[in-house]
Amino acid sequence: QLVLTGFDRLRLIQRIVDRLPEKAPLIELDVQNEEHLNTLAQRVTAEIGEGNRLDGVVHSIGFMPQTGMGINPFFDAPYEDVSKGIHISAYSYASLAKALLPIMNPGGSIVGMDFDPSRAMPAYNWMTVAKSALESVNRFVAREAGPHGVRSNLVAAGPIRTLAMAGIVGGVLGDQAAEQIRLLEEG
């Protein structure tokens, strides 16, 4: 059984969920809201049934205010915006793991979506820093989840044209990143 979470655009998310081949519940989750996190296991259990446990958790959450990305100068991003982006994009991985680990099956997996932060990609700016933080957070989540028989890994899917990517200065990141990646692949 699939249980989905979403925040902010729940009506839009619900329309997407409704197109899935099988019905899936949608639970509101704002990873900056402690009450949402503290009640998440209980709310998921209400959907999957008492005594049932999760085999996997996918963290596909990322956000950086526009001041920390795009054509805005790297040095000009206000700390409040950067910290919000790192909270949502990296710290939330640990928050989600902490919230759901108690209802996970041994042998289960926590998986997060990554983007290679080893290079200073155009327009990605502070989101690159957030992804570097996510990689570090993942190592600590793996350390904490391991004794429970749960793995933690990140997957870097590469540059995929998504709504999020299109929102970064109208897709400038996508065009520039695709060219840089092509050059890197050629050697």
**pTM for the model:** 0.86
Other residues' Cβ atoms within 10 Å of the Cβ of residue 38: 12
Tell me, yes or no, whether 79 lies in a domain: yes
Q: Is residue 175 part of a domain?
A: no
In a domain, 176, yes or no: no
What residues contact 14, with CB distance under 8 A and at least 6 apart?
A: 6, 26
How many separate domains does the chain show?
1
| pLDDT of 126 over the 70 cut | yes
Whether residue 169 is contained in a domain is answered as: no
Residue 49: which CATH number? 3.40.50.720
Amino acid at 178: A
Give the separation between CA 187 and CA 179, rounded to whole angstroms.
Answer: 13
Specify the range with the lowest mean pLDDT, choosing from 14-18, 119-123, 179-183. 179-183
Band of pLDDT at residue 79, cut at 50, 70 and 90: very high
pLDDT by residue (tens digit) across 149-169?
999 999 997 766 665 665 555
- Domain limits for position 65: 4-160
Please report the pLDDT score of residue 30 as a whole number. Answer: 98
Which residues are known catalytic residues?
124, 131
156, part of any domain = yes
